[in-house]
Amino acid sequence: MRPKQAPLYDPEYFRSLGHEIIDILADHLKDSLETKRPQVLPWRPPDQQMQHWKEIDHTDMEPKALFQEILSHSISIHDPRYIGHQVGMPAPTSLLFDLLSSYLNNGMAVYEMGMAANCMERLIIETLCSRFGLPTETAGGVLTSGGTLANLTAMLSARKAMASRWQGKRPAVMVSEEAHYCIERAAMTMGWAQEDVIKVPTDERFSMQTQQLEPLYQEALGRGQQVIAVIGCACSTSTGSYDDLATIGEFCNKHKIWFHVDGAHGAAAIFSPTYAHLLEGIAKADSIVLDFHKLLMAPALATALLYRKNDTSFQTFQQQSAYLLDLQQDWYNSGKRTFECTKYMMCAGIYGFVKAHGWESFGENVTTLFQHAKAFATQITQHPHMKLATPVQSNIICFRYEEEGLSTEETNQQNAFIRQAILENGVSYIVQTTLRNKLFLRLAVMNPFTNETHIEALCKDIEAYALQWSSTHASHAETSAS
Ligand SMILES: Cc1ncc(COP(=O)(O)O)c(C=O)c1O
């Protein structure tokens, strides 16, 4: 049946199309996991891709055919050769509960528009607070749309809570130079200057040099700034390095300033008995951000923002809205504490998942991915010329191809060439990052089905592209010499 002829809200149409679409997705999942398709990424340059979407008029296409069309022009996150960005592969249970969220469309801001939702969210938050060791009498939090928004919300909360400290001065925060760019973006959004985000240098493992906190704090005071918070990375985006949260927590405690942990990626380690130690000291945090759509198998976006003192979350946004919200601190009217007014019921995907599989399966996923990353790093460095940026701490591996006799700039060019060739070839998907002016290839092991065979194939491709670059480079050199 053509979409135009289909009645808009016909339950039988919904039922039959729904069954067909789930079949398509199940087949896609199977083919992805078994690497049946030649590529994880059917690469086309943006303009060519746009040309295709303009030329193929999808107006009369059956919805199932359009589904296939979208799938076949998208990167496949469930394919084990996807080892790129930190977007996790959604588990079927989570994504089916997400479908329920889309169907119900309960906006959640006020209680009656999300009765089940506000309760599920509160239960998730309570479990998280207790896992992180925040005091049960005072702790609380919210779910919100992504780590970026959650970090901004936490920084607004810190500014509000610390108002008596910074009034008459310029508020500032201190954060590792390796922090995600969203911290600086949040500061800009708050109307701060770039200098109000004080970057703390990192050590050889790209973790914050905590001994620099005191001198930088004193220098800031001298300039008329008041540091209101230190933000710890757990872990950093580029290299997956964990900051020493225990020391940062002590520092914040000493100066009576806010301690925020950006654990968007790596705070998930709390569920892993093997790796929870990386978060030692997190229980001292005033606020913590944790993304479920990274290591915890939920579809994007689903982020928890936890507070040591739940009260502070109510003070962040105090707009009065006569028809919606009053100033009472009621947990069940969630719109008082988040940017979103109409908030997606992201809790259903998480709640459904933990009821079906248990909180422990989060830990198992984290343990597996971290262990795989360590093993893959060893495997990679067994290849000549492949050097790690730093030992692996989480599921992120940074390495590069280093050929003797090349300058740093040439090595950067060679690695950029390798990455671009891998992208365009589409058989595997990896990304790149720059650390201290050196360009590195970067893998985020997000898929527990990625194995040594996939990594070996990737290494072979890297070697082949490196040689290709060298031969072009050599012939350039010869051409210019002649
Ligand atoms: C450490 C860290 N913080 C924040 C973010 C931003 O999170 P989101 O993509 O959910 O907005 C990321 C994303 O990669 C991250 O790695």
| Residues within a 6 A CB radius of ligand 1 | 86, 146-148, 151, 180, 182, 237, 262, 264-265, 291, 301, 303
- Identify the pLDDT of residue 130: 98
pTM beyond 0.85: the answer is yes
CA distance 177 to 161: 25
Provide DSSP, 326-394: -S---TT-GGGSSS-SS---THHHHHHHHHHH-THHHHHHHHHHHHHHHHHHHHHHTSTTEEESS--SS
pLDDT of residue 451 exceeding 60? yes
> pLDDT digit string (tens) for 225-257?
999 999 999 999 999 999 999 999 999 999 999
- Identify the pLDDT of residue 325: 61
Confidence of residue 440 (pLDDT cuts 50, 70, 90): very high
Atom of ligand 1 nearest to the CA of 263: 1
pLDDT of residue 327 exceeding 70? no
- Identify the pLDDT of residue 333: 87
Cα dihedral: 370, 374, 376, 381 (round 10):
150
- Identify the pLDDT of residue 479: 47
Expressed in angstroms and rounded, the spacing between residue 55 Cα and the centre of ligand 1 is: 35
Six token digits for residue 228:
């209101």
Q: For a substitution probing ligand 1, which of 184, 265, 288 has the most ligand atoms within 8 Å of its CB?
A: 265
CA-nearest residue, atom 7 of ligand 1: 147
| pLDDT (mean) for 69-86 | 97
| pLDDT (mean) for 272-288 | 98
3-class DSSP state for residue 453?
A: helix
Q: For a substitution probing ligand 1, which of 148, 181, 346 has the most ligand atoms within 8 Å of its CB?
A: 148
Report the b/e string of 208-238 with b at 16+ CB within 10 A.
bbbebbeebbeebeeeebbbbbbbbbbbbbb
pLDDT of residue 480 exceeding 50? no
Q: For a substitution probing ligand 1, which of 87, 153, 178, 182 has the most ligand atoms within 8 Å of its CB?
A: 182
- Identify the pLDDT of residue 319: 61
- Identify the pLDDT of residue 457: 98
Atom of ligand 1 nearest to the CA of 151: 4
Expressed in angstroms and rounded, the spacing between residue 166 Cα and the centre of ligand 1 is: 28
Expressed in angstroms and rounded, the spacing between residue 480 Cα and the centre of ligand 1 is: 45
pLDDT of residue 177 exceeding 70? yes
Six token digits for residue 383:
């290849």
Query: 142 CB contacts (<8 Å, ≥6 apart)?
Result: 121, 125, 153, 304, 305, 313, 334, 337, 338
The mean of the pLDDT values for the chain is 94
Q: Are 392 and 378 in contact (CB under 8 A)?
A: no
- Identify the pLDDT of residue 178: 98
Q: For a substitution probing ligand 1, which of 143, 237, 243, 305 has the most ligand atoms within 8 Å of its CB?
A: 237
- Identify the pLDDT of residue 320: 56
Q: Are 101 and 292 in contact (CB under 8 A)?
A: no
Domain ranges of the chain: 3-76, 99-359
Confidence of residue 103 (pLDDT cuts 50, 70, 90): very high
In the DSSP assignment, the letter for residue 236 is -
Domain 99-359 has CATH 3.40.50.620: no
| pLDDT (mean) for 437-445 | 98
